[in-house]
Structure 1
Amino acid sequence: MKYIEIDQPSGKRIAKWMRTVCISEDGMIFVPSCISSSDSEIMLCASFDGTPIVNYLNHVFVPSTWMSVEFPKTKEVCAVIEAKVKEITAVKI
């Protein structure tokens, strides 16, 4: 698992875990569940669906593709995160 931490926005203090995405060995992008709802709600839904979950700094991360389908209001945010991750990893890898 690789972790990519986004820089702290100027003038704002955002927790490290909220600025982090996880990338599995097969390229699956995991996003913080808080972009949709509570960790416990997302964890229950993901577990019920058999969706992989990552725990990082005691917070739940789920695949961005699953999140955008199951919680449609996150579709745009997940798309932006996915595009940025692909941009970053294309440069670093």
Structure 2
Amino acid sequence: MNVHDMLPESVYYRFNPYMTYAYGLDEIDQERLEQMASDAAFYVRRNSSKLESATERLCLRPNVQQRVHRSVKEWMDLKGFYKPA
């Protein structure tokens, strides 16, 4: 069981693109950079609906409960109230 199994549908998005190589963050080899771009384009083509769904979800305005919760949390932070995690 994982997080995805416990959440309602279209709430959890995991993006794990397949990469031809284990690229380093400081990769400078031109061939590998081109392959990385190709891998990314392939991933986007194959998962465009998943990406669009996540985009729509992220662009939703917060509901009243979420806005109130955020406001109370910000107010508590400003006043120096901290609740242990």
- For normalisation by structure 2, the TM-score amounts to 0.31
**If each structure's strand is expressed as a fraction of its own residues, which one has the higher value?**
1
Bigger relative CO (Cα 8 Å, ≥ 6 apart): 2
| Larger CA Rg, structure 1 vs 2 | 2
- For normalisation by structure 1, the TM-score amounts to 0.29
